[in-house]
Amino acid sequence: MMCKSVSLCFLLIFGIVLNVYANSEFTKNNSVSLSSTRAVFKSGNTSEGLGVKNNSKESVYLIRSWITDYHTNKVDDSKFLITPPLLKIKPDSTYQLKINKISNDMPTDRESIYKINVMAIPVNGGQNGPSSSEISGGVSLSVTHTIKMFYRPESIDNKTNMNSIDDFISANYEEGILNIENKSPFFVTFANLITDKESLYAHLAKEGMVSPFGNIQIRTKTKPRTLTYQRINDFGGVTLEKIIDVK
């Protein structure tokens, strides 16, 4: 018997689904992938797209998508909504999710950050779609892809600001504490962080990300002379090394 509604399918699926993450064969095979490792939502737009690709030649997947607060992980649909929230994707095909802005209640002088969550659930039933019995018998593993989404206000979204981010990163040392400041309106994610010849990346919290107009503090035994770092850009790539003096 076919599911009579999306809601019924949703309840059937999540009543039996087992979440498996890094160690599952699904993750290793990368059967379902996203078009980017991070998303930038520009405030002048009403929506942005995110591609979901089923790389499998045989398997059908159900895709559930939602947005959460970056810090609390709580579902937040008051500002953004992904459509469709639940869909079926056939083998060797791509679907474009739509991220819709439904509120402008975000800071206008700095970036805001959210999480995009895309859960991929393999099912039996082939291209004819899963029936209720096939769902209960065929759903075995699910994997959730989570990426950052940066909301960028129009007031700061220009090449001058983007190209000068490094000018707003500074470091100073006092009483055993290395203080790294980000005086820009953008989130800065460090891909690499070295003082003289010692890597400090292991000491960074929250994936090495510093909030706009924020700072991180790392305890070190001695005052370093220089700080060398690389940042992750909008496309998930790594910038060239930048060396600054520690004051």
Mean pLDDT by 10 residues, the chain (247 residues): 45 38 39 94 96 93 95 91 96 96 95 96 63 44 90 94 94 95 96 89 78 94 94 94 97
Q: Can you give the pLDDT at residue 159?
A: 87
Classified as helix, coil or strand, 177 is: strand
DSSP state of 8: H
98: its two tokens: 């739509």
Q: Can you give the pLDDT at residue 207?
A: 67
Which residue from 79, 81, 99, 78 is spatially nearest to 34, judged by alpha carbons? 99
Classified as helix, coil or strand, 202 is: helix
Contact 133, 22 (CB under 8 A): no
Classified as helix, coil or strand, 147 is: strand
Q: Can you give the pLDDT at residue 208?
A: 85
Q: Can you give the pLDDT at residue 125?
A: 53
124: buried, middle or exposed (CB in 10 Å: 19+, 13-18, 0-12)? middle
Q: Can you give the pLDDT at residue 16?
A: 36
